[in-house]
């Protein structure tokens, strides 16, 4: 049977899962959990997977859940959803808005909100898992579902990999994931090649020799040193990176000293770097170290500078053949509701999983904004003002057609292999 008629057969069950999916989405939205604390969400995912007939592994990398459904000979397809929410106070005004607070890693009580739509991702993947489990006569192979913790802090995928993910899975042929975006609900978009940037944060401590503000000759001033570094770093993108290569280097924080007449003994800079390839990423990180070390020498700094990398995300570079296969399946199923997703400056850790498994992957986007709201904003030229984006306190994807579209996308993409 052709893929389109097989997906139509599998998706005849959509009306049967839609009811619980909508309830589950509102429930998850109202009960968001911070990164690495996704116990309730993981428990709900495990229970649904088990009921649908999957073999389930829980507690992988903390709260991660793996479901495996073996349906005979054929390819193995991995679908991944992230589960965590953000420390944001919800301002959507929805009847199912979150009022949850939780302790963050520093022990501070913070508001928690599903402001990135990971509640949508969990709901859509559970729906797709159920639909495929219910229609095993229409496909062959193995379906692997991965419910991943802690995407927002960039180390949840890594935690699952380090906790035997590879050993628990059969040999995977392809890995896929999706993200709900501030686009009209009902649309899907694919993008071959680089689609999400790598992100790195770096904390740099440079040392001087403190002293009286009136006697600079007796000191090494770390404020001047740090200022020179900030200026010199501007040349990394403008002079060392090819014009066609997208990259960002921001010094988001610079702190030194406490008083106008005291020269402090150190300064701390915090940088954020966004790149779309491993080669550019390595070149920029190397350039930063080279410049900082050289500026410290130029300033007679008495101690070597210290570098600390944190909040690191890999680049997401969609495999062209895998993406073309999904794009063809989407075009056949969604028609003119499928298109191209623009390159995003956001970052994701999903690609850590296929990279660790050594398999090709693709990552697509789908809309979550009420189509009428979006069209009105577009006609008024006010999309950036009136359409809330991910991580905004006003971002909550509409229930439908968002859930149907995300569920259909997963089923259609999986069936392009199974
Ligand atoms: Zn996010
Ligand atoms: Zn997200």
Q: Is the pLDDT of residue 5 over 90?
A: no
The CA 30 to ligand 2 mean position distance, Å, reads 17
Residue 2 pLDDT: 65
- Give the separation between CA 273 and CA 345, rounded to whole angstroms: 11
- Nearest one of 327, 318, 323 to 3, comparing CA atoms: 327
Does the domain formed by 3-195+315-415 have CATH 3.40.50.10470? no
Residue 282 pLDDT: 96
Q: Is the pLDDT of residue 351 over 70?
A: yes
Ligand number nearest to the C-alpha of 81: 2
The CA 113 to ligand 1 mean position distance, Å, reads 11
The CA 17 to ligand 1 mean position distance, Å, reads 26
pLDDT digits (tens, 9 = 90+) for 260-278: 999 999 999 999 999 998 8
The CA 295 to ligand 1 mean position distance, Å, reads 36
Name the token pair of 263: 């020269």
Domain ranges in the chain are 3-195+315-415, 198-313
Helix, strand, coil share of the chain (percent; to 5) = 40, 30, 35
Does a cis peptide bond (omega within 30 degrees of 0) precede residue 91? no
The CA 41 to ligand 1 mean position distance, Å, reads 17
Give the 3-state secondary structure of residue 233: helix
Ligand number nearest to the C-alpha of 391: 1
Ion ligand 2 neighbours (CB, 5 A) are 116
- Give the separation between CA 396 and CA 388, rounded to whole angstroms: 8
The CA 22 to ligand 2 mean position distance, Å, reads 19
- Give the separation between CA 250 and CA 230, rounded to whole angstroms: 9
Average confidence (pLDDT) over 134-139? 96
Ligand number nearest to the C-alpha of 88: 1
The CA 391 to ligand 1 mean position distance, Å, reads 6
Average confidence (pLDDT) over 229-238? 98
pLDDT digits (tens, 9 = 90+) for 172-215: 999 999 999 999 999 999 999 999 999 999 999 999 999 999 99
- The mean of the pLDDT values for the chain is 96
Instruction: Record the pTM.
Output: 0.89
The CA 395 to ligand 1 mean position distance, Å, reads 11
Residue 311 pLDDT: 87
Burial class of 73 by CB neighbour count within 10 A (0 to 12, 13 to 18, 19+): exposed
Q: Is the pLDDT of residue 236 over 70?
A: yes
Q: What residue has token string 């995977």? A: 172
| CATH architecture under which domain 198-313 falls | 2-Layer Sandwich (3.30)
Name the token pair of 212: 């009286």
Q: CA angle, corner 8, sides to 5 and 10, nearest 5?
A: 115
The CA 122 to ligand 1 mean position distance, Å, reads 14
Name the token pair of 155: 């180390």
Residue 404 pLDDT: 98
Ligand number nearest to the C-alpha of 178: 2
Give the 3-state secondary structure of residue 125: helix
pLDDT digits (tens, 9 = 90+) for 384-400: 999 999 999 999 999 99
């Amino acid at each position: 049977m052709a893929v389109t008629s097989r997906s139509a057969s599998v998706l005849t069950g959509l009306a049967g899962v839609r009811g619980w999916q909508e309830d589950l989405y509102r429930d998850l939205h109202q009960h968001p959990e911070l990164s690495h604390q996704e116990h309730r969400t993981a428990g709900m995912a495990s229970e649904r997977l088990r009921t649908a007939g999957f073999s389930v592994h829980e507690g992988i990398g903390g709260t991660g859940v793996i479901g495996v459904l073996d349906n005979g000979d054929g390819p193995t397809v991995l679908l991944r959803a992230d589960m965590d929410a953000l420390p944001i106070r919800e301002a959507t005004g929805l009847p199912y808005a979150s009022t949850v607070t939780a302790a963050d890693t520093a022990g501070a009580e913070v508001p928690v909100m599903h402001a990135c739509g990971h509640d949508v991702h969990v709901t859509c993947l559970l729906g797709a898992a159920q639909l495929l489990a219910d229609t095993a006569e229409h496909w062959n192979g193995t379906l692997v579902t991965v419910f991943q913790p802690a995407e927002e802090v960039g180390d949840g995928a890594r935690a699952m990999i380090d906790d035997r993910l590879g050993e628990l899975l059969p040999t995977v042929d392809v890995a896929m994931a999706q993200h709900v975006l501030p686009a009209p609900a009902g649309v899907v978009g694919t993008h071959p090649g680089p689609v999400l940037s790598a992100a790195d944060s770096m904390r740099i401590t440079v040392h001087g020799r403190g002293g009286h503000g009136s006697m600079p000759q007796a000191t090494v001033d770390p404020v001047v040193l740090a200022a020179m570094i900030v200026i010199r770093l501007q040349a990394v993108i403008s002079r060392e990176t090819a014009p066609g290569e997208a990259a960002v280097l921001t010094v988001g924080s610079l702190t030194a000293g406490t008083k106008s007449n005291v020269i402090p003994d150190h300064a701390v800079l915090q940088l954020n770097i966004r790149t779309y390839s491993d080669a550019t990423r390595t070149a920029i990180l190397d350039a930063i170290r080279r410049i900082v070390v050289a500026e410290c020498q130029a300033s007679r700094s008495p101690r070597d500078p210290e570098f600390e990398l944190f909040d690191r995300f890999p680049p997401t570079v969609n495999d062209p053949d895998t993406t073309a296969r999904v794009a063809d399946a989407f075009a056949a199923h969604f028609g003119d509701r499928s298109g191209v997703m623009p390159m995003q400056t956001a970052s994701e850790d999903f690609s850590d999983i296929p990279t660790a498994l050594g398999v090709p992957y693709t990552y697509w986007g789908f809309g979550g904004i009420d189509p009428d709201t979006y069209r009105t904003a577009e006609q008024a030229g006010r999309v950036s003002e009136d359409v809330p984006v991910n991580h905004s306190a006003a971002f909550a994807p509409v229930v439908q057609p968002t859930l149907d579209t995300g569920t259909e996308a997963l089923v259609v993409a999986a069936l392009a292999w199974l």
